[in-house]
Amino acid sequence: MILLKNTYNKNNKHYCNKFEHNSISKMKTKSIILLYVSLLSISQIYCQHTEQTLSRNMFGINAGALTGLGFSYKRLFANSTIQMSFIPVANFSTDNDNSDDFFIYSAGISYIKTLQHHKYYNFTFYTGTHVTNMFTEYSAANIGCGLGFVFNTNFYNINLLLGYGAFDFLNETVLWPSAEIGWFYYF
């Protein structure tokens, strides 16, 4: 461009200016197209990210006396959540000696209601029931309710709940405080 400018500068100043002007315009156009493509790419990435955060399904792990132990699924609604936790542990031998065989499990279902929304967490009420034979010879059922916090990020959330429950209420009722913790990932 400089060479052309020098060549034509003496003879035809007007032509040189026009040529220079066209080159700059082309560069500007290219820059605008490049910027547009970049912005489009960024917006696409952002859209994907937003869709991820808006998912209503969460999967994770949970441990709680009222909400259950093990793998856990959460279904999110506007101001409430249904949570289900389950874990089976079994040992079945193939030979005739069945003395080491066992099957233990934990299954829990709970309902979480959001009372107040905050930027990083929700203050919640929860109620749940949990059936397990992990700590007794038979299946014991627990039921109760409480309050707690659900901390939110764009990718996962953490449940920290504190409540009060009736443990093994079908047989020997024990009234005792309860705590629940859970980690869930959006999918």
Partner 1 sequence: MKTLLILLFSFTVNTCLHSQNNDTLFTPSSRKLEPLIGANAGSITGIGFTFQAWYMKNGIQITSMPIYNEEFYYSFGASYLREMVKSKNTRFFLYYGFHSSNFFYSYKDFSYNITGGGIGVQVAHDGIVLQLTGGIAGYNITYEPQINIAAGAGLLYNFNNK
Residue 91 · residue 101 · CB < 8 Å: yes
CB atoms within 10 A of CB 29: 10
Position 175 contacts partner 1 (CB under 8 A): yes
CA–CA separation, 124 and 149 (whole Å): 6
Taking CB under 8 A as the criterion, the residue among 80, 162, 169, 181 binding partner 1 is: 162
Give the closest residue to 52 by CA, choosing from 155, 130, 184, 143: 155
**C-beta of 167: minimal distance to partner 1 in Å?**
9
Taking CB under 8 A as the criterion, the residue among 118, 133, 138, 144 binding partner 1 is: 118
Structure tokens at 37: 């493509």
Q: Which lies closer to partner 1 via its Cβ, residue 123 or residue 155?
A: 123
CA–CA separation, 13 and 34 (whole Å): 32
Site string for partner 1, 14-53 (x = CB under 8 A): ----------------------------------------
Q: Which listed range, 31-39, 58-66, 75-83, 112-120, lies at the site for partner 1 (CB under 8 A)?
A: 112-120
Taking CB under 8 A as the criterion, the residue among 32, 89, 147, 170 binding partner 1 is: 147
**C-beta of 66: minimal distance to partner 1 in Å?**
15
The DSSP 8-state label assigned to residue 65 in this structure reads: T
What DSSP string describes 102-139?
EEEEEEEEEEEEEEEE-SSEEEEEEEEEEEE-SSSSS-
Taking CB under 8 A as the criterion, the residue among 24, 42, 134, 174 binding partner 1 is: 174
CA–CA separation, 115 and 76 (whole Å): 14
Q: Which listed range, 62-70, 83-91, 129-137, 173-181, lies at the site for partner 1 (CB under 8 A)?
A: 173-181
- The binding site for partner 1 (CB under 8 A) comprises 116, 118-121, 123, 147, 149, 162, 164, 172-177
